[in-house]
Structure 1
Amino acid sequence: MPQDARILLVPGSTRAGSTNTAALRTAHTLAVPGVTTTLYEALRELPAFDPDQVDEPPAPVVALRAALADADAVLFCTPEYAGTLPGSFKNLLDWTVGNGDLYGKPVAWVTVAAPGRGAGAEQTLRMVLGYLGADIVEPACVRLPVPRAGVGADGLLADAELRTGLADVLGHLGAHAHRAAAVPASGPPARP
């Protein structure tokens, strides 16, 4: 029997009551066959990206890189801010550029914004992940709108349809990660 696919859940918001974080917290509680999740909760701790520190990064960046290296796949859930990604989340992605942390890694995102919103964040995320050489798993990139009132006092989503949608995403991403693990990777391109 194959080992569970390890999926790192990365919220793109620093807001305490974020529906994005609530969606990934909820995903973390779901029992999905063949999948184990880890919730990344240190976005606030990352220092501003400094290219002079890429080879000797600060401790929070070392921890981020270790979490990414340990993951078979990554699921993002980010809000849109001013038509694009929030600066703190883009900063996280910037720290992954120089060393291939996401190269060839299966990735997906869940957009929980209200209908008609979030397209700018999705477009930017797709562009950045493409630049990083990540393996975007299209069936796992979905929109599951979460009303602010849908987050319970425990910080989780109780709505059965949303929970099922999140479980489906994890299942697609986990299955893709298993298939990708069976194919030898060529490795990231050399850094200039």
Structure 2
Amino acid sequence: MSIPIKILAISGSTRKQSSNHLLIKALAALYKERVTIDLYEGLTELPHFNPDLDMDHRLAPAPVADFRAKIRAADAVLICTPEYAIGVPGTLKNAIDWTVSSMEFSKKPVALITAGTSGYHAHKSLLGTLLIIESRISEDMQLVIPAVKTKINNEPVITHMETLLRLEQLMTALITAVHAGEDAEGFLTPPPMNMA
């Protein structure tokens, strides 16, 4: 019997009953035979990012060290986030900032779902960040779900068939990326840096 793929899920919402949490729970139930999806619960416990607190990675604050260890131990990462004021939620961006110098996301397969009222601005911004820190993301491993509250209920069941099919495509691509390993192709490249 094969060992299930370990996926660390990170929700950009701090609300316990958010649609993003519901999406993660729905995917965990749908794919329980193939993957284990563990929701990271410590987002609000991370201190504000400060490079002065991270001069030596071995001495990082305990919540930061725990977050980094969870990413390293996972085969892949699933980020599911709303958009706040057409931007990335501050707690999520703060968490990712803590991994830039220590490079936990480098070469890690990452699926990105932005689900909210809209989501396109936050999605573009976060995708750029994830690519700059060398996450492995393909076109099929990302999805924007606008009007998400009309597409999932509190059970949680994804009630919108097109959204369900797109999520199945995303999960298949993420699982394939894990199995393919370092030799996989078709991942997006970082956007050019603006040096002006």
Structure 1 and Structure 2 fold alike (TM over 0.5): yes
Per the alignment, residue 11 of structure 2 pairs with: 11
Counterparts of 2:142 and 2:72, CA distance in 1: 21
Give the TM-score, by structure 2 length.
0.80
The answer to whether the 8 Å contact 2:78/2:111 transfers is: yes
Per the alignment, residue 173 of structure 1 pairs with: 174
Distance 1:36 1:132, change over 3 A: same
Per the alignment, residue 138 of structure 1 pairs with: 139
Give the TM-score, by structure 1 length.
0.82
The answer to whether the 8 Å contact 2:22/2:152 transfers is: no
Per the alignment, residue 99 of structure 1 pairs with: 102
Question: Quick check: 117-126 or 159-168, which moved more?
Answer: 159-168
Counterparts of 1:33 and 1:167, CA distance in 2: 14
Counterparts of 2:61 and 2:157, CA distance in 1: 34
Counterparts of 1:67 and 1:150, CA distance in 2: 28
Per the alignment, residue 60 of structure 2 pairs with: 57
AA of the residue aligned to 2:115: V
Q: 2:157 aligned with 1:157, yes or no?
A: yes
Counterparts of 1:163 and 1:121, CA distance in 2: 21
Task: Report the CA distance between 1:16 and its aligned residue.
Answer: 2.6
The answer to whether the 8 Å contact 1:26/1:163 transfers is: no
Per the alignment, residue 66 of structure 1 pairs with: 69
Distance 1:137 1:79, change over 3 A: same
Counterparts of 1:48 and 1:16, CA distance in 2: 21
The answer to whether the 8 Å contact 2:120/2:144 transfers is: no
Which consecutive residues of structure 1, in runs of 5 or more, have no partner in the other structure? 184-192
The answer to whether the 8 Å contact 1:111/1:144 transfers is: yes
Per the alignment, residue 112 of structure 2 pairs with: 109
Task: Report the CA distance between 1:33 and its aligned residue.
Answer: 5.1
The answer to whether the 8 Å contact 1:32/1:167 transfers is: no
Root-mean-square deviation (CA), in Å?
2.3
